[in-house]
Chains A and B, each alone.
Chain A
Amino acid sequence: EPEVTQTPSHQVTQMGQEVILRCVPISNHLYFYWYRQILGQKVEFLVSFYNNEISEKSEIFDDQFSVERPDGSNFTLKIRSTKLEDSAMYFCASSVGTGVGSGEQYFGPGTRLTVT
């Protein structure tokens, strides 16, 4: 069964460093998403991406974040200058479409980001 994969599973970085989290969505999916979950908190939406551009973003997704689909398979989340509060589990998801019947989002296993 096709699945969303994410690398690395755990990333440790120092405050102020840039990190890139990588995701490979399911191959025939057109919509891509990033979510995060700070330990003990709720899963929060960051951004959705369709047709090579951001379709929706939350207020969390500020200028330090960016997303890219550098090739036909990868979808990346870059955090430019990490802060301690960026420590969280980051989930990538993809879907065929949006709404009923095609909007089911398939999630990856997550990347745990630890900023020290």
Chain B
Amino acid sequence: GEDVEQSLFLSVREGDSSVINCTYTDSSSTYLYWYKQEPGAGLQLLTYIFSNMDMKQDQRLTVLLNKKDKHLSLRIADTQTGDSAIYFCAVAKSGGSYIPTFGRGTSLIVHP
């Protein structure tokens, strides 16, 4: 089955850019998601990209997809302390119920 991997921790200074990386194994994955989980809250869908796209930008967020290497990244520009959270990469295939397969989550720590 699908396997999604991401590093567990990332520490950045406020104002710097953060890049969270994710790799997946199933090349037929069609939808690739980034979720954010703040302490005590549920998973919030931040953004997603289709497999026929290379890049998607949404304000401070940039998603890059390298389909050949099955590599997905989330760049957060001008990282703020409020961005401190766990970020989950998830992928899903089209057809059926589009149930995403999640990675373990990357804990982003932003320090002043």
Q: Which residues of A contact B (CB under 8 A)?
A: 3-4, 31, 33, 35, 40-45, 48, 55-56, 91, 93, 98-100, 103-110
| B52 interfacial by beta-carbon distance below 8 Å | no
Measured between beta carbons, the chain A residues less than 8 angstroms from B43 are 43, 91, 93, 107
Picked from B4, B90, B99, the residue with its CB within 8 Å of the CB of A48 is B99
A66 to B42, CA, bound (A): 22
Interface residue? B98 (CB, 8 A): yes
> Majority SS of interface residues in chain B?
loop
List 21 A–B pairs whose Cβ atoms lie within 8 Å, in order of A's numbering.
A3-B42, A4-B42, A31-B97, A33-B99, A35-B102, A40-B104, A41-B104, A42-B102, A42-B104, A43-B43, A43-B88, A43-B102, A44-B102, A45-B100, A91-B43, A98-B96, A99-B98, A103-B98, A107-B43, A109-B40, A109-B41
Q: Which of A43, A55, A56 has the most CB of B within 10 A?
A: A43
What is the interface size of chain B, counting residues whose CB is below 8 A from a CB of the partner?
22
Interface residues of B (CB under 8 A from A): 4, 31, 35, 40-45, 88, 90, 94, 96-105
- Residue of chain B at shortest CB distance from A50: B97
Distance in Å from the Cβ of B66 to the closest Cβ of chain A?
Answer: 22
Which B residues are CB-close (under 8 A) to A45? Answer: 99-101
**Which residues from chain B contact A31 at a C-beta distance below 8 Å?**
97
The answer on a CB contact under 8 Å between A109 and B4 is no
Q: Are A98 and B98 in contact (CB under 8 A)?
A: yes
Given contacts A55-B97, A99-B94, contact A105 B102 (CB under 8 A): no
Pairwise interchain contact A98-B102, C-beta atoms closer than 8 A: no
Known interface pairs A45-B101, A105-B45, A108-B42; 16 further A-B residue pairs with C-beta atoms within 8 A, sorted by A's residue number: A4-B42, A40-B104, A43-B88, A43-B102, A43-B105, A48-B97, A48-B99, A91-B42, A98-B97, A99-B94, A103-B98, A105-B100, A106-B42, A107-B35, A107-B44, A109-B40
